Chains A and B, each alone.
Chain A
């Protein structure tokens, strides 16, 4: 066994030990879901970064930059960073005011006084959680396969165990404490290769010269091929990455409940926007160097792995790849939690068995974490081609929370009927748009892309139905209680 393999195993063991210590502070079910609601700005901020960054940042961004050049930075990265600042300073403090909720379903059900909304949200979040977990297990396993030269199925099992054990033990606190060490690993991982890659590629001057001559327009606002980056494509990116990925992503929406007070997320905004910006700068510079070293790689998405494997010293390459694994592990556990929380808290307990004891609920929560992990593991083992489309659909589901969450805090007239129907029809439209794209690619128009369609159909329905229905007096009371000036 090599030193790198031993270090990896040691790292997983440390995560589990941290999970064990977290479990000693996790006695009641509420603590399992949202800790003691006493997380301070630095730790909360780090946990948000760990959840938000996935292997997609390292792997997928190269693919996007290959297609759209700097267009990917202007229309995806920069809008997302603006969205993080708005989320933490404007939306998160308001979410924290909702003292009883432990999940997005709880929060929407309390505000709009409806168990149907609870169930519908739980189902959407459940699908989102399990498919997102599958996607990240697959993304992370690619790297583990490269790193240790072991079969695909073994990699999937290693990744699942790496994320599952500490989550089952420590619940949300296990995830949050581990996110600190994972943050250190992927910060180091994104930085460590940079100097070597830049110097191998002949320095910044040479990199810029080579790329600007071989790929004219790469550094411009609309990238090397402006026909690819049309208005509907840009709008699709903006709504998907701002509203779906950042603002109303269930994984981050749930996290706001753990903060110590309403100011915590506001303070945490520095650490979140700062660390993501730094990591992206490092990763982008590595990609630019990589594009010079490998002008025509077969698959741009494997560029980071190729560079780590072939162009730097074994240890720094390994740390860089550990970084990708860390971004994966830190998000997988959260997605298992979303699944388990939807089944146990939202559907089983809050809808049917409110009198279930805390111990019994914690036990069930742990069992459903394992069930969720096994489902995600089985799907990822088969590596189905269709899964990528289904996953994207799940990610776009979070778009339908836009109206209901904004309405909960800022619109007195928002009603239960509007919330229910806008979420249901919005989610169906996302699926329909994907089906249209697959069944008849010739007639498909990007103006009706899944992200864009889900966003405007659910948004419009939310406004129209709210205007024609009336909020009940209970809904108005809750609105006043949660309102901030």
Chain B
């Protein structure tokens, strides 16, 4: 059986923060008025 290193096993958990990164990007795009320009 092949052993997996801790980083290979636990690294993917950082992918769960992809939603947070996407939120950051969308917040910037909205603030810079690139998308949804007329929000109030």
A57-65, A202-210, A385-393: which lies at the interface: A202-210
State whether A212 touches B12 (Cβ < 8 A): no
Within the complex, the shortest CB–CB distance from B21 to chain A, in Å, comes to 8
Establish whether residues A89 and B30, one from each chain, have CB atoms under 8 Å apart when the complex forms.
yes
- By the criterion CB–CB under 8 Å, are B26 and A89 in contact? yes
B1 adjacent to A213 (CB under 8 Å): yes
* CB within 8 Å for A266 and B26 given contacts A208-B9, A485-B38: yes
Hey, which chain A residues are within 8 Å of B5, CB to CB? 208
Q: Which residue of A lies closest to B7 (CB)?
A: A208
Question: Which residues 1-40 in B have Cβ within 8 Å of A in the complex?
Answer: 1-6, 8-10, 12-13, 15-20, 22-24, 26-27, 30, 35-40
Q: Which residue of B lies closest to A205 (CB)?
A: B6
Say yes or no: B36 contacts A93, CB within 8 Å: yes
Docked CA distance A88–B14 (Å): 21
Min CB distance A195 to B, Å, is 15
Specify the chain A residue showing the minimal Cβ separation from B24. Answer: A270
Q: Is the CB of B19 within 8 A of A277?
A: yes
Kindly supply a per-residue 1/0 record for chain A positions 163-194, scoring 1 wherever the CB is within 8 Å of any chain B CB and 0 otherwise. 00000000000000000000000000000000
In the bound assembly, the distance between CA atoms of A208 and B1 in angstroms comes to 13
Number of CB contacts from chain A to chain B under 8 A: 106
Chain A residues near B18 (CB, 8 Å)? 78, 81-82
Q: A277 touching B17 by the CB < 8 A rule? A: yes
Interface class of chain A by DSSP: helix
Cα-based distance from A276 to B19 in the complex (angstroms): 9
B27's partner among A86, A89, A281 (CB-CB below 8 A) is A89
Q: Are A219 and B8 in contact (CB under 8 A)?
A: yes
- List B contacts of A84 (CB < 8 A): 19
Supposing A219-B8, A219-B9 touch, asked if A209 and B3 sit within 8 A by C-beta, the answer is yes
Q: Contacts A78-B15, A89-B26, A216-B1 known; A208 to B6 CB distance under 8 Å?
A: yes
- Residue from A209, A284, A484 in contact with B36 in the complex, judged by beta carbons closer than 8 Å: A484
- Which chain B residue shows the least CB distance to A270? B23
Who on chain A is nearest to B40 by CB? A262
CB distance from B8 to the nearest CB of A (A): 7
Alpha-carbon separation in the docked complex, A267 to B23 (Å): 9
Interface hits, A278-331 → B, CB 8 Å: 280-281, 284-285
Once the chains bind, are B2 and A212 in contact (CB under 8 Å)? yes
A232 at interface by CB-CB < 8 Å: no
Q: Tell whether, in the assembled complex, residue A81 and residue B38 are in contact, meaning their CB atoms are under 8 Å apart.
A: no
Q: In the complex, which residue of chain B has the Cβ closest to the Cβ of A89?
A: B26
A89 to B37, CA, bound (A): 12
Seen from chain B, the residues whose Cβ lies within 8 Å of a Cβ on chain A are 1-6, 8-10, 12-13, 15-20, 22-24, 26-27, 30, 35-40
16 contacts between A and B (CB under 8 A): A74-B12, A78-B15, A85-B19, A89-B26, A90-B26, A208-B3, A208-B4, A212-B4, A212-B9, A213-B3, A216-B2, A266-B39, A267-B27, A270-B20, A272-B19, A280-B16
Q: Which 8 A-B pairs have the closest CB atoms?
A: A81-B19, A273-B19, A89-B26, A269-B23, A85-B22, A212-B4, A277-B16, A208-B9
